[in-house]
Amino acid sequence: MAKRGEVVEQLALPSSMKELKDTLWKAADKLRGSLSAAEYKDVVLGLVFLKYVSDSFQERRDALAEELHADGIGEDQLESFLEDIDEYRGAGVFWVPETSRWGYLAQHAKGRSAAVGMPAASIGELVNGALEHVMGSNPSLANTLPLIYNRDTIDQRRLGELIDLFNAIRFTGEGSTRARDVLGEVYEYFLGKFAAAEGKRGGEFYTPPGVVRVLVEVLEPYAGRVYDPCCGSGGMFVQAEKFIERHGADPQAISVYGQESNNGTWRLAKMNLAVHGLTANLGPKWEDTFARDLHPGVQMDYVMANPPFNVRDWSRNEEDARWVYGVPPARNANYGWIQHIISKLGPSGTAGVVMANGSMSSNSGGEGDIRANLVETDLVSCMVALPGQLFRSTAIPVCVWFFAKDKTAGDGGATDRSGQVLFIDARDLGHMVDRAECALGEEDIARIADTFRAWRGHAAAVEAGTEYEDVPGFCYSATTAEIKDAGYALTPGRYVGSAPEEEDGEPIEEKIARLQAELFAAFDESARLERVVREQLGRVQ
């Protein structure tokens, strides 16, 4: 690693966000040592979070100082106003005690000696103390942050170097949200890297951004309650906020609700949402959604979820009121998730759910009957088959189910789609990032979303004069009767058919004559080669 001063100078003005993220990852990766990917993830993301809350606090402090100076407040009174907790909480900023502020940690990145009038402490002890004080000062962060920085497995020298490195991620003079945006992107980048490093387990907290974008772009959550019953690290909510920002809408128009059963993943979500400036109700602690719904009676406008696939051991109660369309099998929770999600939707609510492909056609354990009831009740809006290898954590091919409580013409779109389901076969979309992972690009996501919008008659499609048409091999609007005739299987490939083969423009008579001539020429050449071989064999004898 370069000397500390050199690192800071190198990163002060990065030529691109990609270079910044790559440089930070390489530097942070040197800290790993003997840590597992899961432990290392908590160490690095905890630091990113602490840097975020400290930067946000300092931005508010600087703005407050300017306001006070403008109001004529003298230097003798300034400090008392700057240390007023309510001035920060009222602006939606976490209160950060003095010894938790990044400047203090950067000052003591090599540890604190007893000479400063306080007990000597390693940098790991200082970071643990900083996080404890932040949690103690902000009740919403209770039991959220990792207190692991003074463990024997963590190299204290490299931890100090990493703190110095993160000290460079501050871009003043570029807007008050610049630091938050940069740290948010770094956080997401690191989440993706850790998911890849953890392999199968990484899929528990991370859904590929392209998959999340498909859900967000189809559902278009502009305003209302947004819910994820198995929220992982909160990626669905982050992408929903970005969607709103891209369209110039008000991010405050959505209310975020979530739940997560894994302790560590719940903490990740809390930190991730805070880094992105999002307030969310994730419940007071982690909790199994099937065992205890933390948001009972709350009707949601949008649900976006990527539940764990094909879970065999789950909290199933045959008398559960959520099983309106049939009791899901004991050895597979897929249709339990689907019915829980539907039970949360309000009268005009919509949902997008990532599922294993088997869910579209399985008949085991009564799943076929449940699926038939969902179709006959007209809840299924759209089925999208996605390309393979999108999830590095699993080779299971996936699809997205979209549900709508109301498919008539109205707020959901100008076209009445009652009694119809849109099927989209997107298996040929995407591009390979490497040998193991496929990703959906902007054009792929737009094609899926635009097809749905045209089918539903959304305002943007109507204004653009775009009318929906079935496209062989890609999309088809099927009636309930057609789906019933197919045994209620919802696999898009059964409905969209095959894409037409490209015509080469050559008249059929000319093509037959040409191919016949080529075939006869090949026969002649074969006969010539046979004679040559016979002659050579005769000479050998």
Tens digit of each residue's pLDDT, the chain (541 residues): 333 333 333 333 344 667 767 777 776 777 777 677 667 778 888 888 898 888 889 888 988 988 888 888 877 778 888 888 988 988 888 999 999 999 999 999 998 887 767 888 999 999 999 999 999 999 888 888 989 899 888 889 888 888 887 776 654 334 444 555 666 667 777 777 776 665 544 445 568 889 999 999 999 998 999 999 999 888 888 888 888 888 888 878 899 999 999 888 888 888 888 877 788 899 988 999 999 999 999 999 999 999 988 999 999 999 999 999 999 999 999 999 999 999 999 999 999 999 999 999 999 999 999 999 999 999 999 999 999 988 876 778 899 999 999 999 987 778 999 999 999 999 999 999 888 789 899 999 999 999 999 999 987 787 777 899 999 999 999 999 999 999 999 999 999 988 776 666 678 888 888 888 888 888 888 888 888 888 877 777 6
Q: Does residue 33 belong to any structural domain of this protein? A: yes
Q: Does residue 199 belong to any structural domain of this protein? A: no
Same domain, 140 and 112: yes
Q: Does residue 485 belong to any structural domain of this protein? A: yes
| Cα separation, 74 vs 68, whole angstroms | 8
Q: Does residue 200 belong to any structural domain of this protein? A: no
Q: Does residue 197 belong to any structural domain of this protein? A: no
Last residue of a domain, one of 192, 218, 246: 192
Same domain, 342 and 234: yes
Same domain, 431 and 541: no
Same domain, 89 and 104: yes
Q: Are 140 and 266 in contact (CB under 8 A)?
A: no
Same domain, 124 and 79: yes
Last residue of a domain, one of 496, 512, 529: 496
Sign of the Cα torsion 118, 124, 126, 128 reads: negative
Same domain, 475 and 512: no
Helix axes 37-70, 156-166, angle to 10 degrees: 40
Q: Does residue 316 belong to any structural domain of this protein? A: yes
Q: Are 326 and 370 in contact (CB under 8 A)?
A: yes
Same domain, 38 and 98: yes
Same domain, 284 and 343: yes
Same domain, 486 and 519: no
Cα 145 to Cα 133, 158, 180, 399: the distances in Å are 11, 20, 18, 34
Sign of the Cα torsion 117, 121, 122, 124 reads: negative
Name the domain count of the chain: 3
Q: What is the CATH number of the domain that holds 491?
A: 3.40.50.150
What is the residue range of 354's domain? 205-496
Other C-beta atoms closer than 10 Å to the C-beta of 48 total 22
| Cα separation, 383 vs 22, whole angstroms | 37
Same domain, 516 and 409: no
Q: What is the CATH number of the domain that holds 184?
A: 1.20.1260.30
Last residue of a domain, one of 129, 160, 192: 192
Same domain, 491 and 511: no
Q: Are 65 and 82 in contact (CB under 8 A)?
A: yes
Q: Does residue 198 belong to any structural domain of this protein? A: no
Beta bridge partners, 471, equal 475
Q: Which of 304, 392, 399, 326 is nearest to 359 (CA)?
A: 399
Does the predicted TM-score (pTM) go above 0.85?
no
Q: Does residue 539 belong to any structural domain of this protein? A: yes
Same domain, 90 and 237: no
